[in-house]
């Protein structure tokens, strides 16, 4: 019998869209998936083992090879320079990385502050713009930072734009488009290439047909 292939899945928003995509590609995933608190779930018929991790941690599990493949946002891939292969754009959970702040404000001349969950992305963006800024790393609710005077700008994900709007913030620049990607550990890819390629081949037509029908 084949050994299990382990997939690291991001908990939260991307999880539901990823499950939907897998089911459309005929992966037989039990209903247990939708509301379980278990962090490891095995699907014997498919020889797949799913592990549920924080989106930012999926690349860590895949890089260390405890997960063979995983689903990670392009935002995380841009932020974390990790030794993993990007196999496929799943075209789900589309959003973008943007710079935002209070309306009609300019960056101060001396030591402007930028808050973000993506310090590397933020830092290289402002460097390319020729702006010297101090990056403040936050882990969530980034939109609070300009409201409370911690930072003049934030770098964060914008999906519907609702969070910016409800907090009276505006965009000052778009940094990168983001969708979820299928990633692989390089060693797993070499050793389990056939199984991983099969998964890519099952997903590809579904992704294409969903993109056509958008």
Binding residues vs ligand PRP (CB under 6 A): 140-143, 156-163
CA 88 – CA 166 distance, rounded (Å): 34
Find the residue with minimal CB distance to ligand PRP.
140
HSE (CB half, 13 Å, CA atoms) of 121? 24
Helix (H, G, I), strand (E, B) or coil at 182: strand
Q: Are strands 69-73 and 180-184 parallel, antiparallel or unpaired?
A: antiparallel
Give whichever of 163 and 179 is closer to ligand PRP, judged by the CB atom: 163
Give whichever of 31 and 140 is closer to ligand PRP, judged by the CB atom: 140
Give whichever of 27 and 118 is closer to ligand PRP, judged by the CB atom: 118
CA 151 – CA 144 distance, rounded (Å): 9
Give whichever of 21 and 154 is closer to ligand PRP, judged by the CB atom: 154
CB of 147 to ligand PRP, least distance (A): 13
CB of 95 to ligand PRP, least distance (A): 7
Kindly state the tokens that stand for 93.
């959970």
CA 127 – CA 158 distance, rounded (Å): 21
CB of 20 to ligand PRP, least distance (A): 18
CB of 97 to ligand PRP, least distance (A): 10
Give whichever of 8 and 206 is closer to ligand PRP, judged by the CB atom: 8
**Could you identify the residue written with the tokens 């990633």?**
183
**What secondary structure does DSSP assign to 70-128, as a single string?**
EEEEHHHHHHS--S-EEEEE---S-EEEEEEESTT----SS--EEEES-HHHHHHHHHH
CB of 170 to ligand PRP, least distance (A): 13
């Amino acid at each position: 019998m084949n050994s299990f292939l382990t997939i690291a899945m991001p908990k939260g928003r991307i999880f539901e869209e990823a499950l939907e995509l897998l089911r459309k590609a005929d992966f037989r995933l039990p209903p247990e998936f939708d509301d379980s608190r278990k962090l490891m779930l095995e699907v014997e018929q498919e020889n797949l083992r799913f592990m549920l991790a924080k989106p930012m941690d999926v690349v860590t599990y895949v890089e260390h090879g405890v997960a063979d493949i995983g689903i990670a946002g392009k935002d995380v891939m841009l932020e974390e320079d990790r030794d993993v292969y990007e196999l496929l754009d799943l075209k789900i959970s589309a959003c973008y990385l943007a710079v935002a702040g209070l309306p009609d404000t300019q960056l101060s001349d001396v030591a402007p502050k930028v808050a973000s969950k993506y310090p590397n992305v933020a830092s290289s963006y402002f460097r390319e713009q020729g702006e010297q800024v101090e990056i403040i790393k936050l882990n969530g609710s980034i939109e609070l930072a300009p409201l409370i005077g911690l930072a003049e700008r934030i770098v964060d994900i914008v999906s519907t734009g609702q969070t910016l709007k409800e907090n009276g913030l505006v965009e000052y620049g778009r940094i990168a488009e983001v969708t979820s990607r299928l990633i692989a550990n390089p060693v797993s890819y070499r050793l389990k290439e056939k199984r991983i390629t099969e998964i890519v081949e099952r997903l590809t037509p579904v992704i294409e047909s969903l993109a056509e029908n958008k």
